[in-house]
Amino acid sequence: MKRAGIIGWPVAHSLSPALHGYWLRELGIDGEMVRLPATPEDFAAEIARVREAGFAGVNVTVPHKEAAFALADSNDEAAQLVGASNLLVFGEDGITGFNTDFYGLMESLRENIGALTSKTVILLGAGGAARGAVLALDMLGAETIHILNRDPARAETLAAMLAPQMPDTELAPGALSDWNDAAFDAALVVNSTSAGMGSNPPLALDLSLLLPDALVCDIVYNPLETPLLKDAVARGLLTIDGLGMLMHQAVPSFEAFFGARPEVTPGLRAALVEALNGR
């Protein structure tokens, strides 16, 4: 049996076992994806343990993505650009880190909105998830990305770090209080924060300032309809939930772990929605 894991703290909420399990059954592969709870202090030891146990690799979720990048013997270009890895593949020559978060968001947005050429985007947050989001938005052709964060200094740091790699995209850092000035011409809003997830309070934003045809995307998938998306739907705006990003980012992970490239299908989404509703 081929084995892989999803490591995080906490990780009990992760849909990765259900997601990979669906593909394993669909493709007739003898394998499993297991949850690996690990505190930041235990992260390196847990990676060593599962590698010794013969795991093919692990997906990495919060709060370990930057630690995974540092632990890897080498990292792909996307991981190097954002300084975070959400996929570790174990090989004879060491551990290789990859960032597939940007790919997941990029493909989810491409399905729903297509290219972002000449478009203005608002990105909420400046943490690890925001790094991959900036890369995805840049690759889709966004002209301007407003990076708005509670602490504007973090947004400024993120913009300064990524701007040299993105000469054709304007990165405009600011505070959440800059929303009113940025919203009027935004074609897309992406929430990369954990606001509205679990007991976290939602962001207080006036969505009425957005264009009537603007899209609102939340990378959170549990709950599937966050307070931000509920507000957007109530105002007649199109929305993109976090399930698309989750499914697409898992495609290269599954291929690395189990040796076959799966497809994102309506059947997969239905199975994951059912798993979410069953909790």
Backbone angles phi, psi at 215, to 5 degrees: -110, 145
Q: Which domains does the chain have, with CATH numbers?
A: 2-99+248-277 (3.40.50.10860), 102-241 (3.40.50.720)
Sequence-distant (≥ 6) Cβ neighbours of residue 120 within 8 angstroms? 142, 143, 144, 145, 146, 182, 185, 186, 187
DSSP at 163: G
Element containing residue 174 per DSSP (H, E): strand 170-175
Strand pairing partners for 98? Answer: 87
Catalytic positions, please? 65
For every residue of 107-126, DSSP letters joined together read HHHHHHH---BT-EEEEE--
Sequence-distant (≥ 6) Cβ neighbours of residue 161 within 8 angstroms? 83
Q: 187 pLDDT exceeds 90?
A: yes
For the stretch 116-172, pLDDT in tens is 999 999 999 998 789 899 999 999 999 999 999 999 999 999 999 999 999 999 999
DSSP at 142: B
At 270 the pLDDT is 97
Q: Rounded to an integer, what distance in angstroms lies between the CA atom of residue 107 and that of residue 88?
A: 21
Under a CB-based contact definition with an 8 Å cutoff, are residues 60 and 88 in contact?
A: yes
Residue position matching structure tokens 């972002």: 116
Instruction: Kindly report the pTM of this predicted structure.
Output: 0.93
For the stretch 63-120, pLDDT in tens is 999 999 999 999 999 999 888 899 999 999 999 999 999 999 999 999 999 999 999 9
CA angle 24, 30, 34 (to 5 degrees): 70
Task: Identify the sign of the CA torsion 265, 269, 274, 279.
Answer: positive
Closest CA to 88 of 44, 129, 132: 44
Sequence-distant (≥ 6) Cβ neighbours of residue 266 within 8 angstroms? none
The amino acid at 14: S
Peptide bond before 152: cis, by omega within 30 degrees of 0?
A: no
Q: 279 pLDDT exceeds 60?
A: no
